[in-house]
Structure 1
Amino acid sequence: MNLVHKIEHWGDDYHSKATDVIRICLGLLILIKGITVIMSRDAVYSLLVDNDNGRFGFSGVVLAGIVHYIVFAHIVGGIFLIVGLVTRFAAVIQIPILLGAIFFVNIAKGFTIFNSELWLSIIVLLLLVMFWIIGAGPYSMDYTMRRRNNIQSE
């Protein structure tokens, strides 16, 4: 058994029910952030429009693809985190987004105590890494499916 399997096994065995409440709240937060990106079309459009002549340039096309990935990953990943379905995968697909939010978006506003978006991004990133390690708990679809497979195999 390699180190990754040992960590996953430890996370499956020593998972408290309170962390499931944190996972559900984290999933709701990420889902709301995804919906917020959809709702703020003007801000996204101003981000995508190139500075010269108001047309989409190559960077606008790349940014449009990134925005679509962010929206899809936040909505689907948030729902998966809420119900506890493929929790580790749902957490992993969120990590690059949060790293980008920390280093490219929020750090530009300054690393101060008053930059609440930066602190929220850091806390969400740490929680995502935690759920990547420990996985879903007893109040999840992962746990229900694993238990059902164990009962059927016996």
Structure 2
Amino acid sequence: MNTISKIESWADTHHPRWIDFIRVALGLFILYKGIMFISNTQPLMEMMANIDLQFFNLALAHYVAFAHLVGGFFIALGLLTRFSIVFQIPILIGAVFFVNIDQGFLSVANNMEFEISLIVLVLLIVFLIYGSGKFSLDYWMKNHPYW
């Protein structure tokens, strides 16, 4: 636990203010992708049709939708940021390594979904280390505990 405290302390002292705007944009983008996922779950069902675990498909679709909607909103607000990112990372790892890798790197045919997924995964890892920053509800609640 001491290592985690040291990482948090280092990240708090080395957190540039401009990176908070990237966190907000990332959260809004993940929220948008969650809304788009809810509006069209058919590609996931078609991809998972080979597996006879229909309950798994349904559970996976609900997990992705919930994690993107709630997690994206929380990341944008800077509320429970690291906790929300932990739920996003498995989804993005699946998107990068299992879903979009077959379509190729810098492929125009897939509208660059692989590259976008990779960038979002890298940004999630960055904010897992850096945290939410000074323009966040986490920071505000830390400084105003009895508001």
TM-score, normalised with respect to structure 1: 0.85
Find the aligned partners of 1:7 and 1:45 in 2 and give their Cα distance: 40
Find the aligned partners of 1:44 and 1:132 in 2 and give their Cα distance: 27
**Aligned with 1:70 (options 32, 47, 64):** 64
Find the aligned partners of 2:62 and 2:81 in 1 and give their Cα distance: 21
Match of 1:122 in 2: 118
Q: Which runs of 5+ in 1 are unaligned?
A: 52-56
Q: 2:20 corresponds to which letter in structure 1?
A: D
Q: By how many angstroms is 1:2 displaced?
A: 1.9
**CA RMSD between the two structures:** 1.8
Q: 1:5 corresponds to which letter in structure 2?
A: S
Q: 1:101 corresponds to which letter in structure 2?
A: A
Match of 1:54 in 2: none
Match of 1:137 in 2: 133
**Aligned with 1:109 (options 103, 110, 119):** 103
Q: By how many angstroms is 1:12 displaced?
A: 1.5
Does the CA contact (< 8 Å) of 1:37 and 1:44 recur in 2? no
Q: By how many angstroms is 1:43 displaced?
A: 3.1
Find the aligned partners of 2:131 and 2:87 in 1 and give their Cα distance: 14
Match of 1:32 in 2: 32
Structure number with the higher helix fraction is 1
Q: 1:90 corresponds to which letter in structure 2?
A: S
Q: By how many angstroms is 1:144 displaced?
A: 0.2
Match of 1:83 in 2: 77
Q: By how many angstroms is 1:92 displaced?
A: 1.1
Find the aligned partners of 1:122 and 1:87 in 2 and give their Cα distance: 19
Does the CA contact (< 8 Å) of 1:102 and 1:122 recur in 2? yes
User: Could you say which structure has the larger radius of gyration?
Assistant: 1
Find the aligned partners of 1:58 and 1:141 in 2 and give their Cα distance: 43
Q: By how many angstroms is 1:15 displaced?
A: 1.3
Q: How many residues align?
A: 143
Q: By how many angstroms is 1:46 displaced?
A: 3.6
